[in-house]
């Protein structure tokens, strides 16, 4: 499925600005762990109309609607059937479908929504197979509808700061970037209620690799201009064995037969490390561990010919040459390089919340782009590429860390696509 399609025949969604819209009418699908928060954040944003909410569970739709009491929003509710979401998408008064469902539903829902003439914002990862990645790309190009993956980490404060620093040349030429999703989810994964039908435990039980690469990759790819000046070339990926998940499954299975299936199973290894070489000769290292008892980290490391930055373990640090900047120097740097969007909505974002504010900045920026007819920061090529690393890592892991080519979803247009507009001025 390593397609080569000549770019001449294809519409380029990179830098594509859809016609402005005065208001953005939104339908949400999925009201589990992420959905209600997204609905709430959107309810604070000017120009948004929340038209419809959908979940399998009627109760979840009602509870979320209840949250909107006292606001101008009065969404219709869809629930009950596996395909109730299609009724929501088929409405003709929705501009944006916001998809917050288990991973396997992301692409089917996104494709259906674009085909129905709607822009799409879809949770991470956007796709689970190579075929799905291409389906997203082809559908977005054909329909000229945005397909933005909701990679919220691109909008966190230090990530935005380092993106702006990179744009202004602070790091010189970027040589290497590191990111990760290290977050102990053992208790959540084995919970019977947290993830609907324990879907996330199943992902970890039947697949081995970096199942969740986009939180670490997104900010690093923007800083390194991937899809926009450089491109991933090949990757290699290696997993440790599993030292904790099977043990937990076996313990639980002794008294609860729900877990028997998992006690038979080999789980994905605790730590996966994936290395990526780019066409311009630079490198990335991305890690994934959701089962070891250790503190949260996305690493977020940028190493250039003139400067260096690293977010985790905190506090965030920047260095020039051999020395770390002291607090005073760092504060001055922060003042100089804080992007406009943070100056504009950073304080409000911290109040509204969502991972400390980044979720709100992401939603605000999406609406700002749609209302002002600006290209989105994350397009369908980013969604496909950042997601495909997950499935390619599985192939590499299964073959003794064999190197695997990464497909170029842009069809060669990465050479001329413009970088993300980090002035983030909006209009």
DSSP 230: B
- Closest distance of CB 66 from ligand A2G, Å: 23
Site string for ligand A2G, 296-315 (x = CB under 6 A): --------------------
User: Residue 410, SS3?
Assistant: coil
Assign 3-class secondary structure to 12-62: CCCCCCCCCCCCEEEEEECCCCCHHHHHHHHHCCCCEEEEEEEECCHHHHH
Separation in Å, CA 212 to CA 204, 244, 273, 352: 10, 19, 12, 26
Sequence length of the chain is 427
Q: If binding is defined by CB under 6 A, does position 153 make contact with ligand A2G?
A: yes
**What does the alpha-carbon distance between residue 379 and residue 232 come to, in Å, rounded to a whole number?**
16
Determine the Cα–Cα distance for residues 45 and 64; give it in Å rounded to an integer: 17
Q: Report the nearest approach of ligand A2G to the CB of residue 35 (Å).
A: 12
CA distance 70 to 65: 11
Q: Is 215 in the site for ligand A2G (CB under 6 A)?
A: yes
Q: Is 355 in the site for ligand A2G (CB under 6 A)?
A: yes
Binding-site member from 11, 33, 241, 415 for ligand A2G (CB under 6 A)? 33
Q: Quick one: which of 232, 324, 246 has its CA closest to 278?
A: 232
Q: Shortest Cβ distance from residue 335 to ligand A2G (Å)?
A: 26
* Closer by beta carbon to ligand A2G, 124 or else 342: 124
When asked if residue 41 is in the footprint of ligand A2G (CB under 6 A), the reply is no
Q: How many residues bind to ligand A2G according to rule CB under 6 A?
A: 8
Binding of ligand A2G by 288 (CB under 6 A) = no
Chain position carrying tokens 């819209």: 21
Whole-number minimum distance, CB 215 to ligand A2G, in Å? 5
Looking at the Cβ atoms of 185 and 224, the one nearer to ligand A2G is 185
Minimum distance, C-beta of residue 137 to ligand A2G, in the bound complex (Å): 23
Can you spell out the DSSP letters for 102-124? -GGGHHHHHHHHHHTT-EEEEPS
Q: Give the three-state DSSP class for 189.
A: helix
Scanning 94-102, 183-191, 203-211, 343-351 for contacts with ligand A2G by CB under 6 A, the matching segment is 183-191
Owner of token pair 């630079």: 282
Q: Are 235 and 277 in contact (CB under 8 A)?
A: yes
- Nearest distance in Å: CB 101, ligand A2G: 13
Residue 219: which H helix or E strand, with range?
A: helix 214-223
399 binds ligand A2G per the rule CB under 6 A: no
**What's the gap between Cα 17 and its chain centre?**
21
List the one residue from 65, 183, 282, 365 that touches ligand A2G (CB under 6 A): 183
Nearest approach, Cβ of residue 31 and ligand A2G (Å) = 14
- Which span sits near ligand A2G by CB under 6 A: 105-113, 182-190, 311-319, 412-420? 182-190
Q: Are 299 and 267 in contact (CB under 8 A)?
A: no
Q: Which among 14-22, 180-188, 252-260, 265-273 is the span making contact with ligand A2G, rule CB under 6 A? A: 180-188
State in angstroms the smallest separation of the CB of 389 from ligand A2G. 16
Q: Which residue is nearest to ligand A2G, using beta carbons?
A: 355
Residues that bind ligand A2G (CB under 6 A): 33, 152-153, 183, 185, 188, 215, 355
């Amino acid at each position: 499925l390593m397609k080569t399609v000549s770019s001449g025949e294809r519409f380029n969604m990179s830098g594509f600005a859809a016609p402005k819209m005065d208001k953005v009418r939104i339908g949400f699908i999925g009201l589990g762990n992420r959905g209600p928060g997204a609905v709430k954040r959107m309810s604070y944003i000017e120009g948004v109309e929340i038209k419809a909410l959908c979940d399998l569970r009627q109760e979840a739709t009602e509870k979320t609607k209840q949250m909107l009491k006292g606001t101008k929003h009065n969404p219709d509710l869809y629930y009950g059937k596996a395909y109730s979401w299609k009724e929501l998408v088929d409405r003709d008064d929705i501009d944006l479908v916001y998809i917050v469902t288990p991973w396997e539903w992301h692409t089917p829902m996104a494709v259906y929504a674009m085909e129905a003439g709607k822009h799409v914002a879809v949770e991470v990862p956007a796709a689970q197979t190579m075929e799905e990645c291409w389906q997203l790309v082809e559908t977005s190009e054909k329909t000229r509808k945005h397909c933005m993956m909701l990679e919220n980490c691109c909008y966190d404060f230090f990530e935005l700061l380092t993106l702006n620093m990179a744009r202004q040349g602070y790091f010189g030429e970027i040589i290497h970037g590191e990111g990760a999703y290290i977050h102990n989810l053992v208790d959540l994964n084995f919970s019977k209620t947290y993830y609907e039908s324990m879907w996330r435990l199943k992902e970890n039980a039947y697949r081995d690799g970096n199942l969740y690469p986009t939180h670490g990759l997104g900010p690093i790819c923007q800083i390194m201009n991937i899809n926009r000046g450089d491109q991933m070339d090949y990757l290699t990926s290696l997993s440790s064995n599993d030292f904790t998940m099977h043990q937990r499954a076996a313990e639980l299975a002794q008294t609860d037969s729900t877990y028997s299936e998992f006690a038979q199973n080999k789980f994905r290894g605790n730590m996966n490390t994936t290395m990526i070489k780019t066409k311009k000769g630079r490198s990335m290292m991305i890690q994934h561990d959701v089962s070891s008892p250790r503190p949260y980290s996305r690493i977020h490391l940028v190493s250039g010919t003139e400067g260096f930055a690293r977010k985790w373990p905190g506090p965030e640090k920047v260095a020039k040459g051999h020395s770390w900047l002291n607090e005073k120097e760092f504060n001055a740097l922060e003042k100089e390089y804080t992007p406009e969007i943070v100056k504009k909505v950073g304080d409000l974002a911290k109040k509204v919340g969502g991972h400390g504010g980044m979720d709100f900045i992401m939603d605000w920026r999406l609406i700002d782009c749609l209302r002002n007819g600006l290209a989105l920061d994350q397009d369908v090529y980013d969604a496909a590429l950042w997601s495909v690393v997950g499935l390619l890592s599985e192939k590499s892991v299964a073959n003794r860390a064999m190197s695997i080519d990464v497909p170029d979803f842009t069809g060669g247009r990465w050479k001329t696509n413009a970088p993300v507009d980090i002035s983030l001025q909006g209009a």
